[in-house]
Structure 1
């Protein structure tokens, strides 16, 4: 019996050791990026001030600039991969991305399938409405009423917030994030709830729209970068790079450039 147990234990130890050795030999995303010289950054590119795809094909914004900085720290160049909010996670799981950027909200649902970097911004859910209607939509109870026409974009945390919280308001899922603010401005919808940073930027870009209490969001939220699940080396590097960007002032200078 003891001989049999020893053989079983030895076989188990060999199996575990082989698995650990194989895991150690598997290159991380960090290794792959440094060897290829390319950092593939998936981004929807429709979310000012984080990442926005211009008509000339150039991505701009806070996260576009910071992705360039991260790539430089890795000795690589960034290559942006256009995706959508609905396809962001599938593209990450399919190996099309080394990192996901562009104003990504930290959620437990996303955490089940991927890693997040350390959060770099607190950015809660904030309504944006026509300025004449600001006093009408001060609370979630004010929004979720019969006759209120709410709107949301598909595939991300804005849609989830709307579907979770609206029981009486009429909700429309608008497929184009770039034109969703015009729906409110032109009176075809009454309210859109998004992150405070986007609401503040859009009220500057579209006179007639106002963010409602952006300093007191309806729901707490954080922004972070999406990373391959289980890749501890890549997460550790991104977290350290982000820490240094914050303590040296690089992050704040970049954010101020796009938020002012």
Structure 2
């Protein structure tokens, strides 16, 4: 009798384990992508050169091209989901998209809510300053003074970096990076703290209106974010990244957006 009970109990444990494993496998966004025939990608257009909106309403950029390439490799349609930054993680969690490919910095706080694939690029924060401060402000450390006003985008690592490394300065937060950077070029703020690639491009577009302290002062790996408990999707993404970095696809897309500025004429 004991043997039968023990055997039955073992069978139940095994069945529950198998059921749990099956349920976990069913959670993979990969299944949904293949079933629906589309890869829904979240991003917040306006972050040059990663994701932007053209004058005729198209979405272009480094992340957009990589996403399209990924969808093509999967044999599915690429579906862009332009989302406000402060709601982008909830959009992923509620299934409005399958993945965030939007220049998202991997942080411990975000990692508690989503899973990140291996970093696909490493950047850092830099500062754009008013030309009147050239020669006086030579690094971000010189901005750490109550007489200076720093502008940046709400909810970004730029805001976190300003609070951490330039705590004495006044901090003004804006909904978009464009509005925040405009505060400096229009003379309403002394500096704009944001991601180095964006700042480099903005400074080249606004010569004479801003100066760029072109030395990043933080280390920030960017990664693709997916819902938690999805090892199958994570495995696919890491292997896909290795593949495109090894076969030249990544370099081709990188050069298009980071070593060429011909696309600027198409951006709003």
- TM-score (structure 2 length as normaliser): 0.87
Which residue matches 1:125?
125
Cα contact 1:134–1:212 (8 A) shared by 2: no
Cα contact 2:152–2:181 (8 A) shared by 1: no
User: What is the correspondence of 1:42-81 to structure 2 with a 5 Å cutoff?
Assistant: 42-81=42-81
Please state how far the C-alpha of 1:3 moved relative to its aligned partner.
7.1
Which residue matches 2:23?
22
CA distance 1:34–1:135, change in 2 (3 Å)? farther
User: What is the correspondence of 1:1-260 to structure 2 with a 5 Å cutoff?
Assistant: 6=6, 10=10, 11-24=12-25, 26-208=26-208, 209-214=210-215, 217-260=216-259
Q: Deviations over 1:136-166 (max 9, x none)?
A: 3334431221111101111222222223334
- TM-score (structure 1 length as normaliser): 0.90
Task: Return the alpha-carbon distance in structure 2 between the equivalents of residues 29 and 249 of structure 1.
Answer: 27
Cα contact 2:105–2:220 (8 A) shared by 1: yes
CA distance 1:165–1:79, change in 2 (3 Å)? same
Residue aligned with 1:187, SS: coil
CA distance 1:37–1:13, change in 2 (3 Å)? closer
Provide structure 1 residue ranges, at least 5 long, that are not aligned to the other structure: none
Task: Return the alpha-carbon distance in structure 2 between the equivalents of residues 134 and 253 of structure 1.
Answer: 36
Provide structure 2 residue ranges, at least 5 long, that are not aligned to the other structure: 260-268
Residue aligned with 1:254, SS: helix
Q: Deviations over 1:101-152 (max 9, x none)?
A: 1211111111111111211111011111234534433344312211111011
- What value does the CA root-mean-square deviation take over the aligned residues? 2.2
Task: Return the alpha-carbon distance in structure 2 between the equivalents of residues 256 and 130 of structure 1.
Answer: 30
Please state how far the C-alpha of 1:8 moved relative to its aligned partner.
9.2
Q: Deviations over 1:177-218 (max 9, x none)?
A: 22322211111111111111111111112213232133xx21
CA distance 1:248–1:159, change in 2 (3 Å)? same
Residue aligned with 1:137, SS: coil
Task: Return the alpha-carbon distance in structure 1 between the equivalents of residues 124 and 164 of structure 2.
Answer: 16
Instruction: Pick which of 134-143 and 188-197 moved more.
Output: 134-143
Please state how far the C-alpha of 1:221 moved relative to its aligned partner.
0.8
Task: Return the alpha-carbon distance in structure 1 between the equivalents of residues 123 and 87 of structure 2.
Answer: 22
Residue aligned with 2:84, SS: coil
Task: Return the alpha-carbon distance in structure 1 between the equivalents of residues 242 and 131 of structure 2.
Answer: 38
Instruction: Pick which of 232-241 and 58-67 moved more.
Output: 232-241
Cα contact 2:27–2:230 (8 A) shared by 1: no
Task: Return the alpha-carbon distance in structure 1 between the equivalents of residues 88 and 64 of structure 2.
Answer: 16
